[in-house]
Chains A and B, each alone.
Chain A
Amino acid sequence: MQLRNKQDFWAGAMFVALGLGFAWGATQYQMGTSARMGPGYFPFWLGICLALLGAVVALTALSGKATETHVERFDFRILAIIIGSVVLFGLLLRPLGLYLSLFLLVVASSTASHEFSWKVSLANAIFLTLFCWLAFIKGLGLIFPLWPTFLGMD
């Protein structure tokens, strides 16, 4: 047996896993009857449907008539930089305050571009920090921790 439609096969496998996972999770809750449904009833059957349909997707991908597709390579560098800088922002927001963590977010994420330059990204970071201060803090009055906690300025 050869794997022709790789995209669909892995997508199907993912649906089966997620469907079974949700269905199993639902068994932890009360099922009830169709007239008096418990919290587990609807998600259980949804999970089963997802797993079944996912199996269909995965199996059709195995058939000889399936169109050939490949899963493109993952660019782990870009993934790590983008997601990493967002997570970093989340971690630093409380201790360092909005301005500094925002600045770091812009500079850090900019390195993901193949045209990265320090000058442009630093200028962009300054501009965006100013813009956010003007639009979100002054304009809309959203409440953020603004300065590093150790300075005690808030």
Chain B
Amino acid sequence: MELLEHLALGFSVAFTPENILYALLGCILGTLVGVLPGLGPVPTIAMLLPITYVLPPVAGLIMLAGIYYGTQYGGSTTAILVNLPGETSAVVTVLDGHQMARNGRAGAALALAAIGSFFAGSVATMLIAAFAPPLAEVAFKFGPAEYFSLMVLGLVGAVVLASGSLPKAICMILLGLLLGMVGTDVNSGVARYDFGIPELQDGIDFAIVAMGVFGFAEIMSNLEQKENRINITDKVGTLYPNRQEMREAAPAILRGTALGSMLGILPGGGSVLASFASYTLEKKVSRNPERFGKGHPAGLAGPESANNAGAQTSFIPLLTLGIPGNAVMALMVGAMTIHNIQPGPQVMSSHPELFWGLIASMWIGNLMLVVLNLPLIGIWIKLLKVPYRILFPAILVFCTIGVYSLNYNTFDIFTTAVFGVVGYLWSKLKCEGAPLLLGLVLGPMMEENFRRALLLSRGEFLTFVERPLSASLLAAALFLVVIVALPSIRKKREETFVEED
């Protein structure tokens, strides 16, 4: 049993006191940003990236991963208690979760969400352990042409499955790719788009873009909307769901886990899509769909399991192919490159302790999160009462300190300020930042593989469609674009995302 050996190695790494501590720290931070509306995992991870310089690679990645899946737990707490999604993936949790709280079952709702998330997290972690090695085998057969096509598929998938206008999102990707061109070209040594500024020759750090576009711009949008705090459900009540609630929730948890795991693997997938899909599915299969939106346990447990499963399995494309499927995974790529680890199929063989340690820590982290979110719920409720006027200067402080410590250079602070202004403009024009960030991270990788593929084929562009693997990846990308562009599906897609607003 190779798998067991691998997992044993993983747990031996994850169970060192240091790594347990960092997993715990990541989970606490994740819950914190998950609970607070208006602060998401992307700026948080970007803020903390510089700190991981100081940590050993395993510990750093364990902490960052903890933040990501921690936000899934924290986001649902806010959704249930305040009727406000702490995270985008918790948007559907609001529907039935908050209704349960209003019916006096807040404790049960929190417990169901946590149990569902834990179950889904455990299953998804096992899936990563089981499926990552064979997938990585496939990845070794990839040449530059395949990698290029895979990145195209990943980028297309990211926009197709996301909300908003499709052509605009593709434009944002292209812009991100172009921003990725800034800096010294690895092949020729020519500094591109540097405007004679030495700091720009190293390229634009994506942490800077993430903090400007997601951190600063979000603060400004939030400040504009004049905060109006909604009453918080203080009375949590018993944490034990009753028998009927359990019976109704259990199958939803199973279905949510399966659905979420599948959607998480898709490029561009992840927790948001998974939770929406699961809610729709539960409503479809339910014998009494009229109870949805009025506090049906299945409408809470399904999406909660699905978003956590999706959050976990979205690590699969990153760990096996080195391709980030969403903005958080793009930041994880950055964290790995900081430590000179090139994400991709070779990670498993060259850094087995990192790979399996990370996977094992995910399971430990999920266990910690149940403890953090159920018995300690009182602390998070208190935190929800912190007013925004105290919160946003703190976010600004952490962002600026994080940016400065990237290179110990004030120039980076000014660049972030510029991206803050640009991000504010984009938010007014409804241009999404996530595709831009993905493009920025993938830009240099894509150019490199594009060049290499054409060098190998002596400048013949047909190489991308003549190689069967590459051709099928491109065909899949094209297929995705076409089905989304079809009028009937476009309408459906718009309807699905209307609920989000």
Contact = CB atoms under 8 A, between A and B. Distances in A.
User: Sorted from nearest, which 7 A-B pairs have the closest CB atoms?
Assistant: A35-B459, A90-B413, A34-B459, A113-B389, A39-B185, A50-B174, A11-B429
29 contacts: A7-B430, A8-B168, A8-B429, A14-B429, A22-B178, A29-B192, A34-B460, A36-B455, A42-B451, A46-B181, A50-B175, A53-B171, A74-B428, A75-B220, A75-B223, A82-B396, A87-B417, A93-B404, A94-B410, A105-B400, A106-B393, A106-B394, A106-B396, A110-B389, A112-B392, A115-B387, A124-B394, A140-B51, A141-B54
Interface of B: 50-51, 54, 165, 167-168, 170-171, 174-175, 177-178, 181, 185, 187-188, 190, 192-193, 216, 219-220, 223-224, 226-227, 387-390, 392-394, 396-397, 400-401, 404-405, 408, 410, 413-414, 416-417, 420-421, 424, 428-431, 447, 450-451, 454-455, 457-461
The dominant DSSP class at the B interface is: helix
A18 B439 CA distance: 15
Nearest to A87: B417
Contact of B174 (A46, A79, A125): A46
B323 to A, nearest CB: 18
Given A29-B185, A57-B168, A74-B424, 13 more contacts: A11-B171, A15-B174, A22-B181, A30-B190, A35-B458, A37-B187, A43-B192, A46-B178, A50-B171, A82-B216, A112-B223, A142-B50, A142-B401
Interface magnitude class on chain A: 35 or more
Nearest to A92: B410
Contacts of B193: 22, 25, 43
Given A39-B187, A56-B167, A50 B178 contact: yes
A59 to B, nearest CB: 11
Interface string A80-94: 001101110111011
A90 B417 contact: yes
Contacts of A109: 392-393, 396
Contact of B223 (A38, A94, A106, A113): A113
Nearest to A49: B174
B497 to A, nearest CB: 14
The dominant DSSP class at the A interface is: helix
Contact of B397 (A22, A56, A83, A132): A132
B429 A7 contact: yes
Contact of A116 (B171, B389, B400): B389
A75 B224 contact: yes
Nearest to B418: A83
B416 A120 contact: no
Contacts of A36: 455, 459
A75 B451 CA distance: 44
Nearest to B170: A53
Contacts of B190: 29-30, 39
A86 B168 contact: no
A106 B389 CA distance: 10
Contacts of B430: 7, 11, 69
Contact of A78 (B223, B401, B447, B454): B223
Contacts of B397: 102, 105-106, 128, 132
Contacts of B420: 82-83, 86
Contact of B389 (A8, A38, A50, A120): A120
Given A78-B224, A128-B394, A18 B428 contact: no
A130 B168 CA distance: 44
A44 B86 CA distance: 41
B393 A128 contact: yes
Contacts of A46: 174, 177-178, 181
A79 B424 contact: yes
A15 B219 CA distance: 25
Interface string A39-77: 100110011011001101100100000000101101100
A85 to B, nearest CB: 7
A18 B429 contact: no
A147 interface: no
A53 to B, nearest CB: 5
A8 B430 CA distance: 8
